[in-house]
Amino acid sequence: MTDQARESSVVEAAPKQLFINGKWTDASSGATFDVLDPSTGKVLCAVSDASPEDGMAALEAAAAAQSAFAATAPRARADMLMRAFHLLHERIDTLALLMTLEMGKPLAESRGEIAYAAEFFRHFAEEAVRVNGGYQVAPAGGARFLVTKQPVGPSLLITPWNFPMAMGTRKIGPAIAAGCTSVIKPAAQTPLSMLALAEILAEAGVPEGVVNVVPTDDAGAVMEPLIRSGLARKLSFTGSTAVGRRLLEQCADKVLRTSMELGGNAAFIVFPDADLDAAVDGAIAAKMRNSGEACTAANRMYVHADVIDAFGTKLAEKMAALPVGRGVDDGVRVGPLIDAAARGKVRQLVTDAVERGAKVLTGGEIGNEPGFFYPPTVLTGVPESARMRHEEIFGPVAPLTSFTSEEEVVAAANDTEYGLVNYLYTNDLSRALRVAEALETGMVGINQGVVSNPAAPFGGVKASGLGREGGPTGIEEFLETKYIGIALA
């Protein structure tokens, strides 16, 4: 089979309908929307476009299934997740190709994401059987306190396009482990990975109505009625801060439990005593994962004045050497951005920085090839007034700015409404801990450019979100604490 034939075969075999109450169904209106290959700009396929009525049908199915699923033994729920874990690994090649075709990332990264996504199922399979409570004698005597944990209830899960499988399992895993049913709305740019995951979950034995998937090209029209319906008890969202704020306002109406993983403006700090080669490698990991389209991507790189020239030269050389192309091609390290609008924003941010005095060390020019490609780019001398110092770049652009003191760089790193993650490189342990504690973020990477791990709590502070996903705390987002007072005769 030729490469083109295999691509066509994988897309053709992928589910493209809504998944409601364990059944594959067309949208009630018959409407569809197109999914594009960002490496060519061409249409891959059409997917059913859920209406508000379809969304409500999915939520009603989830609500109807909630009581029975909550009563399912924790070990049974854990077994479902473990079966799904194994199925993801068995089908990793097909799933990775499907993801690359709809999202653009290189196949190696797609394979890595499928493995990462599967780990959330394994992690929460282990957490499902460890949900506990407590028993206490009342301080005044005469009564006992029994504390137990129960599922929150039907949950609305909204996932982004940049990690279309892992951001789903990071929410679905704890929901199933806790005994919650759900309705998932995947991003319109990348619905195929989530629909493939729904197929796997059904095969793994997840009961009808427990997981429902409603792709749509009009998220607001479909999701707002569900949020305001009174049937849902939880919303978990990963996406922009602007959308998160609107969703929080909607959730206030019914006082929905919420967890929000929102935008980031990560600082990457290199102190003069750092191992520069390790720092450059870490910068590439922090910047170029997913072609920079990640909320954890290094967005502001602060390098000490004593080493910024050497660091910039090394980084530019390595960035310039990264092969760019279709994610399905051998050796490609950098794929396209998700769409024309994303590439246009990156181009505007680079133009703005250069006009304000930044110097281009490599990249910065768009070629004539089809698709939404932007070259790996390094800028130095990026001033405080540049837009990219305050907005998420979401692209393969590394902006360097110098600093001279620890106090100065900590103040600069904290001078943002965001607080998801920061990175720092130093060989001084005292400085590493001192700075890590001073940084106003939910996560800090010390001498490492990647912090995400299913066993660790992922999330931010300030405008970067509420709550945590992953780790031992991730399941708590889908559990309510109930206190039962017991009088003794």
The yes-or-no answer on residue 251 being catalytic is no
Contact (CB, 8 A) for 261 and 465: yes
Three-state SS across 162-181?
CCCCHHHHHHHHHHHHHCCC
d(CA 437, CA 195) in angstroms, rounded, equals 41
Q: Strand ranges (DSSP E) for 363-466?
A: 377-380, 397-403, 421-425, 443-446, 465-466
The yes-or-no answer on residue 295 being catalytic is yes
d(CA 211, CA 184) in angstroms, rounded, equals 7
Residue with tokens 């006009």: 355
Contact (CB, 8 A) for 286 and 450: yes
**Backbone torsion region of residue 465, taken as left when φ is above 0, otherwise alpha when ψ lies between -120 and 50, otherwise beta:** left
- What residues have CB less than 8 Å from 203, skipping those under 6 apart? 83, 87
d(CA 75, CA 130) in angstroms, rounded, equals 10
Q: Which of 330, 375, 50, 329 lies closest to 213 in space, CA to CA?
A: 50
Decide: helix, strand or coil at residue 98.
helix
Given the residues 60, 261, 469, 476, the one annotated as active site: 261
Given the residues 295, 392, 469, 477, the one annotated as active site: 295
d(CA 205, CA 309) in angstroms, rounded, equals 57
d(CA 45, CA 32) in angstroms, rounded, equals 10
Decide: helix, strand or coil at residue 259.
strand
Catalytic site residues?
A: 261, 295
